[in-house]
C-alpha cells in the first residue's frame, strides 16, 4: 500500500511538472545546414532597411516550471531586393549588444544581471560575436494550408554566435515602389542548434541539472521590418 502511495505521489508530481511546462512552445521552424544565399540581377530594385527600433521581439522560457523573460533586439542595417514585383533576396544584421529585457526594465539589479548574462559566453558571447545576421536564400508564396496569415515562407541563413543554420519562417510581405514591409508572426527556434548551451538538457554538461533550473531550448521571435527604396 505504501509503495502504491509513493507511486501515485510521483505520478502527481510528474503531472504537475508537465502542466507547469504547458506554456512553453516547441521549435516550429525547419532548421537545416546553411544554403547558398540568393543573388540579385542587374534590374533588381534595392530597398534599404529603416531603423525604427524594437524590430525584433524575443521570449525565453524555463523548461519545467512557469516563467519566462521577454524583450527586444535592434536591427542595425540591411536591405531587401525586389525583382519583377517579387521579393527575391536580402539580409538584415542584428545588433546583439542591443539585447533588452522588457519584463525586468523596472528592476535595475535584476535587469543588469539578466542582460549581462545573455551577453556572456553562457549565451550569445556578444564580445566575440557582436552581430547576428539573416540572409535570404529562397522566397516562396505561402501555401493555402498556412494558418499564420503569412503571404510568404522565407528561407534564410541565420548566423548566431558564429554558427550558420538555414531556417524557414512565415512572413507577411507587402511592397510598392517606395517601400517593403516584412513582418512575421511569432515563430520559435531551438537555441541548441547554434550551440547556446547554458542549462540546456540537450548537452551532457547539463544532463543532471535540477529541473527547476533548466532553461528551455525554445526562443520565440517576432520580426517587424520596413525598408525604403534606395536612391538610384
Inside any domain, residue 202: yes
pLDDT at 92: 98
Largest CA distance in the chain: 82
Average pLDDT over residues 58-83: 93
Strand partners, 48: 79, 228
- Among 50-54, 78-82, 163-167, the minimum mean pLDDT is found in 50-54
Q: How confident is the model at residue 232 (pLDDT cuts 50, 70, 90)?
A: low
**Burial 201-215, CB ≥16 within 10 A → b, else e:** beeeeeeeeeeeebb
User: Looking at residue 219, which CATH number applies to its domain?
Assistant: 2.40.128.110
Domain assignment of residue 11, yes or no: no
Report pLDDT for 16. 37
Q: Is residue 172 part of a domain?
A: yes
> 12 in a domain, yes or no?
no
Q: Is residue 146 part of a domain?
A: yes
Host domain of residue 71? 23-229
Q: Is 16 or 128 the better-scoring residue by pLDDT?
A: 128
Whether 6 is covered by a domain: the verdict is no
Average pLDDT over the chain reads 90
Looking at residue 42, its pLDDT comes to 84
17 pLDDT higher than 70: no
- Any domain includes 17: no
Confidence of residue 183 (pLDDT cuts 50, 70, 90): very high
Number of domains into which the chain is organized? 1
Q: Quick check: 97 and 91 in contact, CB under 8 A?
A: no
Domain assignment present for residue 120? The answer is yes
| Measured distance CA(92)–CA(51) in Å, rounded | 11
CA 194 to chain centre: 11
Looking at the chain, the whole-number percentage of residues with pLDDT higher than 90 is: 78
Encode pLDDT of 136-153 as tens digits: 999 999 999 999 999 999
Amino acid at each position: 500500500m505504501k509503495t502504491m502511495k509513493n507511486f501515485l505521489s510521483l505520478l502527481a508530481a510528474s503531472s504537475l511538472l508537465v502542466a507547469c511546462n504547458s506554456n512553453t512552445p516547441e521549435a516550429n521552424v525547419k532548421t537545416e545546414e546553411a544554403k547558398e544565399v540568393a543573388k540579385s540581377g542587374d534590374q533588381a530594385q534595392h530597398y534599404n532597411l529603416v531603423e525604427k527600433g524594437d524590430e525584433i521581439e524575443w521570449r525565453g522560457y524555463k523548461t519545467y516550471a512557469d516563467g519566462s523573460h521577454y524583450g527586444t533586439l535592434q536591427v542595425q542595417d540591411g536591405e531587401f531586393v525586389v525583382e519583377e514585383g517579387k521579393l527575391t533576396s536580402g539580409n538584415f544584421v542584428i545588433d546583439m549588444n542591443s539585447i533588452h529585457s522588457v519584463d525586468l526594465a523596472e528592476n535595475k539589479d535584476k535587469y543588469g544581471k539578466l542582460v549581462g548574462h545573455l551577453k556572456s559566453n553562457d549565451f550569445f558571447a556578444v564580445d566575440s560575436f557582436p552581430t547576428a545576421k539573416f540572409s535570404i536564400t529562397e522566397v516562396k508564396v505561402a501555401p493555402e494550408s498556412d494558418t499564420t496569415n503569412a503571404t510568404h515562407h522565407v528561407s534564410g541563413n541565420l548566423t548566431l554566435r558564429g554558427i550558420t543554420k538555414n531556417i524557414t519562417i512565415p512572413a507577411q510581405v507587402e511592397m510598392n515602389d517606395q517601400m517593403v514591409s516584412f513582418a512575421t508572426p511569432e515563430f520559435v527556434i531551438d537555441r541548441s542548434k547554434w550551440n547556446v548551451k547554458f542549462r540546456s538538457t540537450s548537452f551532457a554538461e547539463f544532463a543532471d541539472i535540477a529541473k527547476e533550473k533548466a532553461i528551455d531550448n525554445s526562443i520565440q521571435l517576432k520580426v517587424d521590418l520596413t525598408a525604403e527604396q534606395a536612391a538610384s
